[in-house]
Chains A and B, each alone.
Chain A
């Protein structure tokens, strides 16, 4: 399955009078955390391998340099204890702190499902609205040749839980603005990031993408509940997150040469879902495709498709298509892995059939 990916322009346009400053997602996240810790003494970091001197600053290096700046009391290295990490974050948030918890791999979130689903999401409601849980949980997702237990995209599990907020960040500009907003949000927010999009390491496997984006030096916040139109088009709306977003953008380039105009939307927030932005695009294009690296059945695309059918069926000129990972545990061998995840090629072929 050969595929070529093209460099796509990311992030916001440069502000006037400001020299373009390009950061990786890892750098942008680090900057967001540092700014928030500087601003508010209640913000702290907690997770595994995040601040050990001589260590690697979190599984993807996001925290490098932060312990030197903020000390080990606010950068809390934990045992390998996901339930303890989540529980500590929830409890501290209930007491008014603003923890940023790190889950090295999103797959490990299943170790603390009780804490996230039964405790974090429900404490406010069960208290009759008297309590709040202002915590952030960061979790890396995505296929990276690590196999079935280190490559999953479990966002959809959490989209099913009222009381949580579920966001996906796909570029440095968004990552910084969203993380800062998440820290200040009074609800439990899960931020999913793709492992191949952090920085230089993933570039090759991501198809040679330039993964940096302009990040203005001035402080900015982005709303947690707003989708972003990454590319405008008239024939089909493609909704995609993370690496699938870039593959959708690459597919859109190829399709444009064939005369098919794709509008590509990064929903950013899965819960709540910005249906206003999504449906206004679908009403314009008349076609909807959803691309995600999570498996097909019960993936978040199913929810988007069902709601589109409910809310804008009569704008549709073709069946809604979901381009997702096939329903198998993720295989290890690169050739097998790329056979099951949504590739640029598969996106192109599916969109072509929709537009016939």
Chain B
């Protein structure tokens, strides 16, 4: 059981199902986007699922997260239904933001997710306010900021890390280091190879985590970072080493990286990795995993059908919700 951090079979299967839900959701979005059903553009999360699932499993609806322009996985992992996320991508009034957010701004207060912030580094500065509110109110809430390694060259990252540190805020900064800021390799724009190393400049604890292993993320996130932040020990930076399988956005043909590199990372794919480990340990079998896959497909059939069948917003609603 050690390799599973003491997690029971139900929890492990639940993590497995969520990983699969995030992956298959993005695959549906890809197809339906290409078929012209989804307007705008989409930035997809394929490959990074272990990070959102491993972290969000420890969070309650009152523990808020901030997300990025690549937020579908965070939204699903935090508990927004596939229906409501999908409908938002379709721009429907039934979406989690009533069609006013779209792919880059999915979120929902009822599960504790701000509308995703599509400005790189934007979430870093807002999240400290969440942590400050929790501290001032003396609650045991924790705020989690998901951001990419690209954000760590933004001023917001540095100002926020420093502020969170001196105020000892209950904030967990989760860097999803997928190696590329759009098409630019991180190593080309930073001489510090590990994002985690930057934390020491602010007196913040940090840890490097295998972001392709949901159990590693789960352990580092829940057992350590989130628990410590909750206990009032101040902010922590987790650097999850991960990889996005697809391009930055749908117009990206990935000419800036090699097929070999992609293949190498896909060998670490978090989904078969957990599935195979469960089978090897005798905790699961092919049939069980197939049943989970079927139920995920059914949930996504329903989500797509819901999005397609949902009404458009009335045009005059565009003028509402500017002011409270």
Contact = CB atoms under 8 A, between A and B. Distances in A.
Given A86-B125, A89-B129, A126 B101 contact: yes
B97 A124 contact: no
Given A90-B129, A95-B130, A79 B119 contact: no
A88 B324 contact: no
Nearest to B143: A91
Interface string A104-115: 000000001011
Contacts of A298: none
A88 B132 CA distance: 7
Given A127-B107, A127-B109, A87 B322 contact: no
B261 interface: no
Contacts of B115: 123, 126-127, 131
Interface size class of B (residues with CB under 8 A): 35 or more
A87 B133 contact: no
A2 interface: no
Contact of B126 (A44, A115, A129): A115
B162 interface: yes
Contacts of A129: 98, 100, 320-321
Interface string B76-103: 0000000000000000000111111100
B126 A87 contact: yes
A65 interface: no
A81 B163 contact: yes
A89 B136 CA distance: 12
Given A125-B322, A128-B99, A91 B136 contact: no
A115 B159 CA distance: 13
A112 B163 CA distance: 15
B281 interface: no
17 contacts: A73-B136, A74-B136, A78-B163, A84-B162, A86-B125, A87-B126, A88-B132, A92-B130, A95-B64, A95-B130, A99-B129, A123-B114, A126-B100, A129-B100, A131-B109, A131-B114, A134-B324
Interface of A: 44, 73-74, 76, 78-79, 81-84, 86-97, 99, 112, 114-115, 118-119, 123-132, 134, 162-163, 165, 186-187
Nearest first, the 9 A-B pairs at minimum CB distance are A91-B129, A87-B125, A128-B98, A129-B321, A186-B324, A95-B133, A84-B163, A126-B115, A81-B159
